[in-house]
Amino acid sequence: MTTATTALPTGTWALDPIHSSVNFWVRHLMVSKVRGTFDEFSGAITVAEDGTPSVRAEIAVDSVNTRNEQRDAHLKNADFFDVENHPTATFVSTAVRRDGDNYILDGDFTLKGVTKPVSLALEFNGVNPGMGHGEVAGFEASVVLNRKDFGIDFDAPLETGGTVVGDKVTVTLEIEALKQA
């Protein structure tokens, strides 16, 4: 029986969009959560000979999917993502740090033309030989972003206080990456 290993070998690992997801949630009406995904994304993890990893990822922002066409159309317009002028969000890592048994992945995140440093809580789930198509590695990561930091400052106040959409957005990533030949 083959099990997962705990070290990511050198080389390039491509994100597998079939076995990965980019998810988010944000408060709605101050009392519930709207959840969504970005259905189109790509990226790679490169591990240098000295073991230092670097990550680069892109998200097609117009692939936002909250299971409501009207809401998705609003998210794509200038009030939120402005996909006509900013079709892609990007992440480029700057460092990886240990955090107990897990890691912190630092990097620069660009959304709606604004770049800010962010730190993702990262769990490395190991490497597996795969199912005949090469090695696979698994990761889970999360970060809480303030949408206003990225110029998404749409505010629709509620009569009772608060706003329709919360400021904090929780982003979670479930990533499977394939070792490239």
Measured from the Cβ of residue 155, the count of other Cβ atoms closer than 10 Å reads 10
Q: How many domains does the chain have?
A: 1
- Domain that includes residue 44, residue range: 11-179
What is the structure's pLDDT at 131? 84
The pLDDT tens digits of the residues spanning 50-82 come to 888 999 999 999 999 999 999 999 999 999 999
Note the pTM of the prediction, 2 decimals. Answer: 0.91
DSSP tag of 163: B
Paired tokens of 34:
């709207």
Tell me, yes or no, whether 2 lies in a domain: no
Mean pLDDT within 111-139: 94
Residue 80: DSSP 8-state: T
* Residue 163 within any structural domain of the chain: yes
Residue 97: give its domain's CATH number. Answer: 2.40.128.110
Residue 6: inside a domain, yes or no?
A: no
